Amino acid sequence: MSKPTIAQVVKSVLAAFIGVQSDNNRKNDFEQGSLSTYVIAGIIFTVVFVAGIIFLVSVVTGK
């Protein structure tokens, strides 16, 4: 089995982030992928999400 590509990691993290990750994909992630890769991707997406929410709120409120 080969390591997942960056696109596969992004797809998997986004699916897990919104709660639609399939059981098959989750099993493949644990078998093929590196934990640190998924943790780092998860942290990056969380920071981007929070920054996006902060930006959106500041634009809407005008501050």
**pLDDT tens-digit readout, 1-15:** 678 889 999 999 999
Average confidence score pLDDT of the chain: 91
Q: Which residues contact 35 (CB under 8 A, 6 or more apart)?
A: none
Calculate the CA 47 to chain-centre distance: 10
Q: Give pLDDT tens digits for 44-54.
A: 999 999 999 99
Q: Check pLDDT > 90 for residue 57.
A: yes
Residue 25 has a pLDDT of 87
Is the pLDDT reported for residue 23 higher than 80? yes
Q: Which two tokens stand for residue 10?
A: 């992004």
Rounded to whole angstroms, the Cα distance separating 55 from 15 reads 23
